[in-house]
Structure 1
């Protein structure tokens, strides 16, 4: 870990201090931004990827425990048929989560 610190982190911080002697001055230098990319952006992308995969697993569990269908007169009202398919399903219809006017599809 100390080699990593001496080789990558400390020179990046020194470069940052060298490039920004006073507040409001833009940091320049390709070496600084190269290190910022590898030390900051890459771990953030990895963490976001892990978060996305975990949320997909949680959604799969939620689909298994589907809410019971209750037919309310103010919900899923169809005054006109949709112009595609058989007219009952919306354009982005998902049979697992979207109910039709008379219940979920089996």
Structure 2
């Protein structure tokens, strides 16, 4: 018996993968936006703490630390909004491209 003609020994022939249409754009990175927002908030907190009037009861360092937490939080919120706006703008400037699958398809 010739096993080369046996259909159970031949691998299944799968159809060729189809090209996929994708949108290509330069996406901004999330964490650098958040880090810069927090850093700007902390810098503004220290400037406002050391330029403001001095209190006899609370040291400037305590005021700076307290303000740094609040201003960093606000800076992260503002940076998140700026990130969303920049991401939306870059998506609109994106272009459509045709992606061609390479290599063997993955089997589960």
TM norm. shorter chain > 0.5? no
For normalisation by structure 2, the TM-score amounts to: 0.34
Task: Find the structure with the greater CA-based Rg.
Answer: 2
